[in-house]
Structure 1
Amino acid sequence: MATLHPARAGKPGPALPVLARNVAHFMRLLHDGGFALSPAHSVDALDALQYVDIGRRGDVRAALAALVLSGPDQRPLFDAAFDLFWRDPDWEGKLRAMLLPRVDAGAPPPRRSNRLADALAARQPDLPARPQQTEAERMAVPLTFSDQERLAQRDFETLTAQEWRALQHLVRKRRAHLAMERTRRLRPSSNGTHADLRASARLAVRQHGEWLRWKYRRHAERKPPVVLLLDISGSMSQYSRAVLYFCHALTLSRERLSVFLFGTRLTNITRALRERDPDEAVAVITGQVRDWAGGTRIGEALASFNRQWARRTLSGRATVLLVTDGLDHEHIDLLGQEMARLRRFAHRIIWLNPLLRYPGFTPQARGVQAILPHVDALRPAHNLDSLLALQTLLSEPGAGTAFVSPMK
């Protein structure tokens, strides 16, 4: 391919030509960037390139795009990956520009894809070591296990910009799966304790009256819904952003998750959180929510949720995750009433309070005292370890129904 310049050609092999190896590397790059591709797509891509003029870059781009794109939202990421891999000879410099923060005066910075940057960084070639390398030329390297442990124990509010970026990568790579709960409904099964007489009789009729095999039914399982009520007031800003990344991982795992933000008003962001790139999803959410890092009215927000959304989202043994510090000094009576009403709707309420990071924390604030009697579990939410402990709690069937408080 004369006009295409691959960014990484890989190790030479006797069996595959150069073009086939480059196409396979490009399809792996798209897969690591978030595209739902399989090895069969590489074979299909090579077949498609036989029907176009590979000397024309536009034809090659159109052929590969028609093969891998499943929606218009994937087009910008595909174009960026195609330009970096096949066209731009300075792909390493562009990769550094995507990974390192930039501050441009005047015009807003261009939109960047962190998923593509992560995928390219994982597949960068082994370059010969230079005698001297400036700080700007050093590339981000994967964190060691010890670095990940230390970062997971750091408070979200004390992280630097580089540590925050590394923490986002750690959360993005995780796929959380919540527990399955058994329902009263029965579904067909190859074995079990409930014999299905009708299905067994129909099978015997098809086998000319010979009753050779039994059909069974067993209890079906489903994922219980989870509703997140997230405080985005000024004192909760950093913690709210970290919890949003954690919730995005739950959304990608196809969990039954509904997310609501509240400061001075209640906002449903469930649909916006379904964006595949978590950075883009959080950027869209922070742009939509006008009361981000503002004041807080917990009682009024809970009243709005109970009136408009509780009956629609809290059916089927739903779990409510309330993420707030409880520092509300207005309408305390309303807060207590709405928490009691929310308790009647929800199967269980887990309160995530970042103030529990202090060993000597006691519930002295009036807002905390109003919320505390109506929750089933009280957990911290100030670092990555606390969020992973929450994932473990939600992954255990029936866990978290007993009140757990580290203040005792």
Structure 2
Amino acid sequence: MAINHLAPEQTEQFADNIVGFARALRAAGMPVGPGAVIDAMSALQVIDIGNRGDVFTTLEAIFVKRHEHALIFKQAFNLFFRASEEWKHMLDSVPLPEQAKKKPQAGSRRVQEAMSQPRMTETPQHQEQDLRLSVSDKEILQKKDFAQMSAAEISEALRAIERMHLPQAELLTRRHRPDPRGLRLDLRRTLRASLRSGGEIIDIHRRGRIEKPAPIVALLDISGSMSEYTRLFLHFLHGITDARKRVSVFLFGTRLTNVTRALRQRDPDEALASCSASVEDWAGGTRISASLHNFNKLWARRVLSQGAIVLLISDGLEREADSKLAFEMDRLHRSCRRLIWLNPLLRFSGFEAKAQGIKMMLPHVDEFRPVHNLSSIQELITTLSRPLPPHHRSLIRSAA
């Protein structure tokens, strides 16, 4: 039975459901416009809407334009349209009992949040009041600790992190390219151009050094005390990985794991789910010294060879703090251009470096910053956007 065979009131109700479904997909991050809604209504005119599979396939062909959106569409469809004869619109975001026993898939959080959003039927007066409240809430959210946030506040913080933009901090390389304002004479191109004028040098060609964004290498502690901060910071790293491909991410607890390839997936939920699947010691113990030793031995020459900026996210609470930790930190510091230690313990005003691990690590970092709220991440973006300092090796040579 197609839509045109329904009663007028049933047709209007079904059309409202399709519009609401498109609005939910848009809230979940899928680019669904009015044209796609019109196409969906036209396509449903010629199929049997009593067949759930035909409706799913039709709407999927119209709304899904990218491969990474297929999972979001499937979960949104299952939540929005309950498998029943009446095809009623399900407004709540509570999963079915048989679904609650299963492990949540990537994208389920975003879909459930989109389903729980109210319809856009508020009056302008109510919208203005909500706007004032949202501005005040945003100011509070910027300074609130990640560990003290509720589930709704964490979701809002994740959306704010996804909107953050990291300007390109350019790094001069050793290679050159044609540049009319360059400081180096391009003799070959100058002589070749002089052949056109009988050997007379009229135009002088120059070459300038190529600038590329500085590589970023992140080492994130995934121990029990750092789990919540690391999970939110991974969203920030996923966002800047899309803009600049020279980002390498490593997770460490009791062992070191490279999750760079997993974090390059376009969908943030799929990327973090892939990272969690590749790590076996999430929210476990901490072995900073052993993890840094493995990184310096196996990965340092691969990812730090071009003057990278290293972000070390850890509280520094090492169980086996000895001279090896100081040695590995010094080795890491000498291998990179800038080493920034992000420690959530700095959120306390009376913080003092009393732990033995923190005392050994602190002398070998360039900057010591907090990473416990949105404001601290925004300050980190400002720091990463500043001009890069000269490399440590050049400083050592000049001093010698």
User: Which bracket does the TM-score occupy, shorter chain normalised?
Assistant: 0.7 to 0.9
- Deviation for aligned residue 1:62: 6.1
Q: Give the distance between the partners of 1:123 and 1:290, measured in 2 at CA.
A: 39
CA distance 1:304–1:155, change in 2 (3 Å): same
| Mapped contact 1:298–1:328 kept (Cα < 8 A) | yes
1:335 matches 2:325: yes
SS at match of 1:330: coil
SS at match of 2:91: helix
Partner of 1:193: 182
Q: Give the distance between the partners of 2:385 and 2:193, measured in 1 at CA.
A: 38
Q: How does 1:32-43 map to 2 (within 5 A)?
A: 33-34=28-29
1:227 matches 2:194: no
Of residues 88, 91, 114 in structure 2, which corresponds to 1:93?
91
1:77 matches 2:72: yes
Partner of 1:158: 148
AA matched with 2:367 = A
Q: Deviations over 1:302-350 (max 9, x none)?
A: 1111111111111111111111111114141111111121122111211
Q: Give the distance between the partners of 1:110 and 1:305, measured in 2 at CA.
A: 32
Give the count of matched residue pairs: 370
Partner of 1:134: none
Q: How does 1:7-406 map to 2 (within 5 A)?
A: 7=16, 33-34=28-29, 54-55=46-47, 72-80=67-75, 93=91, 96-97=93-94, 107-108=101-102, 111=105, 112-115=107-110, 124-126=119-121, 144-189=134-179, 191-194=180-183, 196-199=186-189, 216-398=206-388
| Mapped contact 1:261–1:268 kept (Cα < 8 A) | yes
CA distance 1:33–1:158, change in 2 (3 Å): closer
AA matched with 1:230 = L
Question: Normalized against structure 1, the TM-score is what?
Answer: 0.73
Q: Give the distance between the partners of 1:106 and 1:62, measured in 2 at CA.
A: 25
CA distance 1:50–1:240, change in 2 (3 Å): closer
Q: Give the distance between the partners of 2:355 and 2:240, measured in 1 at CA.
A: 32
| Mapped contact 2:287–2:320 kept (Cα < 8 A) | yes
Q: Give the distance between the partners of 2:285 and 2:24, measured in 1 at CA.
A: 43
Q: Give the distance between the partners of 1:204 and 1:81, measured in 2 at CA.
A: 66
| Mapped contact 2:337–2:390 kept (Cα < 8 A) | no
Question: Normalized against structure 2, the TM-score is what?
Answer: 0.74
Is 380-389 or 166-175 further displaced after alignment? 166-175
Structure ranking higher in helix proportion: 2
Q: Deviations over 1:176-232 (max 9, x none)?
A: 33412222322234x423554544565676799998876553322111111111111
Q: Give the distance between the partners of 2:58 and 2:201, measured in 1 at CA.
A: 55
| Mapped contact 2:309–2:336 kept (Cα < 8 A) | yes
Partner of 2:396: none
CA distance 1:6–1:171, change in 2 (3 Å): farther
| Mapped contact 2:304–2:336 kept (Cα < 8 A) | yes
CA distance 1:201–1:358, change in 2 (3 Å): same
SS at match of 1:93: coil
| Mapped contact 2:222–2:252 kept (Cα < 8 A) | yes
SS at match of 1:144: helix
Is 70-79 or 103-112 further displaced after alignment? 103-112
Q: CA RMSD in A?
A: 4.5
CA distance 1:399–1:249, change in 2 (3 Å): farther
CA distance 1:396–1:68, change in 2 (3 Å): farther
Q: Give the distance between the partners of 2:244 and 2:90, measured in 1 at CA.
A: 35
SS at match of 1:326: coil
Q: Give the distance between the partners of 1:150 and 1:198, measured in 2 at CA.
A: 61
- Deviation for aligned residue 1:49: 11
AA matched with 1:158 = Q
> What percent identity do the matched residue pairs reach?
40
Structure 2 stretches of 5 or more lacking a match?
Answer: 5-10, 125-129, 393-400
Q: Give the distance between the partners of 1:143 and 1:277, measured in 2 at CA.
A: 30
- Deviation for aligned residue 1:2: 2.9
| Mapped contact 2:333–2:364 kept (Cα < 8 A) | yes
CA distance 1:83–1:368, change in 2 (3 Å): closer
